[in-house]
Amino acid sequence: MTKKPASPAFTTPEAQALLAGKKIAVLGDSNLVLLLQENRFMTKAENRARAHRSIVNDKLLAGGEMGQLTNDPNYTEVREYVKGDFSIRFYFITRASYPYVTTEVIPALATYAPDAVFICSMLWDIMRYGETFLAGEYRVRLDRLFSQVIKAVPDTCIIAFLNSPPVSDNCYGGVFVKQVLNKKPYLKKWHIEVCDLY
């Protein structure tokens, strides 16, 4: 029996009505693109296809298979989904604030001029940088990212931090390479620390 993907808290019609006529930028997670089409999150197969030119009726603009395919923190990917009068740009980031965000993402946000920015950075920050996770250092990086985004986007833009969903004991994906599996037992504790920051 195939396990059915979990349904999101918003339905597709609700998401479409909420985002009608809007330009949205997402830093971190692209499930919103699918939510605008169907009442479900991405399947494992769809998540694994993220580097491809199109996954769920979106378009790869940069990075992914057009760049260097890798599971390291230098991986980049920019996607866009356009339907009718709304569009979503997705920027895959591996850290709340690092040179790629400063030199590529922030200038792109200034040009795109979104109505809303959703920041979903956490798992890569926790798992792929250093031997342990330092909540204070992460807070500094998040504050720097928020400051950069605020300066780049229109004054009317809504900016929201959407921490990742609760982390499973059986996590998988590109962030969980062999070298960092020793951190997995601490992931839930660190996740809670991040939730408590904001």
Q: Which two tokens stand for residue 114?
A: 């979104």
Tokens of 157: 């833009």
Is residue 151 pLDDT above 70, yes or no?
yes
Angle at 126 (CA atoms; ends 123, 128), nearest 5 degrees: 90
Least confident of 11-25, 38-52, 163-177: 163-177
Q: What is the pTM of this model?
A: 0.78
pLDDT at 111: 97
Q: How confident is the model at residue 1 (pLDDT cuts 50, 70, 90)?
A: very low
Alpha-carbon distance of 53 to 137, in angstroms, equals: 35
How do the residues of the chain divide into helix, strand and coil, expressed in percent and rounded to 5? 40, 15, 45
For residue 90, with 0-12 CB atoms within 10 Å meaning exposed, 13-18 middle and 19 or more buried, which class applies? buried
pLDDT of 123 higher than 60: yes
Q: What is the mean pLDDT of residues 145-156?
A: 95
